[in-house]
Each structure stands twice: as structure tokens, then as C-alpha cells.
Amino acid sequence: MYDVIIIGGGPAGLTAGLYTSRARLKSLLIEKGFAGGQVMTTEWIENYPGFEDGISGADLSRKMEKQATKFGLEIVQGSVIDISMRGGIKEITLEDENRYETKAVILATGSNPRPLKIEGEDRYRGRGVSYCATCDGAFFKGEKLAVIGGGDSAVEEGLFLTKFAETVYIVHRRDRLRAAKVVQERAFANEKIKFVWDSVPEKIEGDDSGVKSLHIKNVKTGEQSSLDVGGVFIYIGYDPNTGFLKDLVNLNEGNHIITNENMASSVPGIFVAGDVRVKPLKQIATAVGDGATAAIAAEKYIDENL
């Protein structure tokens, strides 16, 4: 029996594990992929305090993992398929049929890139369609690429892709970016980046070797055109990983978990941290705050109820 089981090993989950371990609660973190989560695939992070020159996502992930395990957090790899309640005890079932019992749960399952849902996207996935510039960018040396989106991820990854690509088109449905101003300034100053405003992707075309072009439509004029690109990188947002939680905790219409200010979900003893919950800003800096709050709330719950 664990005191706390944390599901998800991104910054929120690892911080929760750091705090619960230091509270001397017997803590287990279950991660389906690799510690770090989305941060692991982020090339460079320069808005997380304490690293004045920035830090790579991979390094930050490893540091957070080391710091949490140093205080006793156990980490296992596995995919959670079910959480069931037996009185105050929660039983967690993994895909490999392993089961764990715990007094409290912290859900930090994060989110996944949202697909465009247009023709050609699935067909050319991994053959020019990508959701991870750091994973796939190096395969596009000297080519023309399209990045879809106008937020931080889209513009930062677009800048990263200029290391390899000849031209990076940033295709955005509006006429201005949502990205942080400092990131915008960098993008506007980069000669390899060209902006395609007020436009949405309609269809991705290619042949056996992969993507050849992206069809786009101007939402103001209705004009259709096409960009000759070898790759399409999609950064239009993220969907929360709450598929297995639908019947357990209250979600909002976007499938994010609703919490109070103590990170408590609608179920006693189940707490939530990071991108998976309803919150105005999804950043590493806010995820670690959630993780700490959820951990202390879980400690209090165990003290008072079990």
C-alpha cells in the first residue's frame, strides 16, 4: 500500500513526488513514457527561473527526476488504464495488469498535441507530418517547411526548425501571434521565417517519399493556395490525457479536470496537477506550483481521513 501514487512524470508529477517523498509519504510515480513529459522534447527552455542562460528540456527533466528520486520517490514505467475506489483506498490498474493500492492519488497526466484533422495528416504522419520539431527537424535539411499555429510552441519550434530548413512558413489563422513578445521579436527578425496570416490548412498532399505540399485557405478572403513544403509541423494546442478518467472525476467541456485551489478533484483523495487541469496558463513554472500544492493537500487528506 502506498500513501501517494502520482500518475504522470512531467514537471507537475515530479514536483509532487519531490514534496510527498520529503513529507516521508511512501510515494510511487507511474509514467507511461519517460520522465519529463513534454518538457523532454522541448529543445531549449529559457523561462524557467534559476537557469539564467536557459536549459535543455532533456537536462531539466533529468534534474527534476534525480531530485525527486533522491528523497525516495519510486518511479515505474506503465500505462494506467483504470482507477477504482474501495472505501478510502484507491486501486490503480496498469495495462500490464499490475495493480497498486494507495491512500491518495495525484493525477498529472498532462496533455498531447492536438491533431489538425485534415486530409493527409494521418497518411503522412512520420513522413513529413510531425508534432515534434526536436524529434524530426533534422530530417529536413535545406527544405521548406510549414509550422501551423501562432502560440509559444509554434513560434519557438519554428525558430528551432530554421537551424535545418531553408524556409519556415508559420501558418496562423489570425493576423497576429499569441507567442511571448520576446519570441515574436526573434521570429520577425529571422529571415528564414515567413508568416502566412489569416490562413488555415485544408489538405496535405504528397507521394511515396512523403509530404510535397500543404493546401491552405485564407479565412478573410476565401482564397486558396498551396505551399510547396516537405514537412508540416503542427502546434495548434494540446488535448488533456483524461480518457481513462471520464467516469471518475468531473471534467469541463474541454475534458480538463476541474479542481479547487488546493488541486482537489471532485473525488476525495484524488488530486490534480499540471496541464491536465482547468487553468489559465500552462507552463513549467505553473506546473511545479500545482505539484507542490497537490502534494501538501494529499498529505493533509491522509492525515485527516486515513
Partner 1 sequence: MSDAVTVVTKDTFDQVVLQSQDIVMVDFWATWCGPCKIVAPVVEELAKEYEGRVTFAKLNTDENPDLASRYNIRGIPTLMFFKEGKVMDQVVGAVPKAQLKSKLDALI
Annotated catalytic residues are 132, 135-136
The three cell numbers of residue 9 are: 512524470
For 86, other C-beta atoms within 10 Å of its C-beta total 8
DSSP structure class, residue 3: E
Q: Residue 225 to residues 28, 144, 165, 217, 222: CA-CA distances in angstroms?
A: 52, 16, 21, 6, 10
Q: Which one, 21 or 134, has the nearer CB to partner 1?
A: 134
CB of residue 37 vs partner 1: minimum separation in angstroms?
9
**List of residues contacting partner 1 (CB under 8 A):** 32-34, 36, 40-41, 58, 77, 79, 95, 125-128, 130, 132, 134-136, 138-140, 208-211, 230-231
Q: Which one, 2 or 124, has the nearer CB to partner 1?
A: 124
CB of residue 264 vs partner 1: minimum separation in angstroms?
31
Q: Residue 88 to residues 58, 75, 91, 251, 301: CA-CA distances in angstroms?
A: 37, 23, 10, 21, 11
Q: Which one, 85 or 132, has the nearer CB to partner 1?
A: 132
CB of residue 156 vs partner 1: minimum separation in angstroms?
16
Q: Which one, 191 or 207, has the nearer CB to partner 1?
A: 207
CB of residue 301 vs partner 1: minimum separation in angstroms?
32
CB of residue 106 vs partner 1: minimum separation in angstroms?
22
Taking CA 257 as the corner, what is the angle to CA 172 and CA 18, rounded to the nearest 5 degrees?
100
CA distance 91 to 269: 12
Q: Which one, 56 or 286, has the nearer CB to partner 1?
A: 56
Half-sphere exposure of 259 (CA within 13 A, CB side): 26
The three cell numbers of residue 253 are: 467541456
Is residue 170 a contact partner of residue 194, using CB atoms and an 8 Å limit?
yes
| Cβ neighbourhood burial of 25 (10 Å; 0-12, 13-18, 19+) | buried
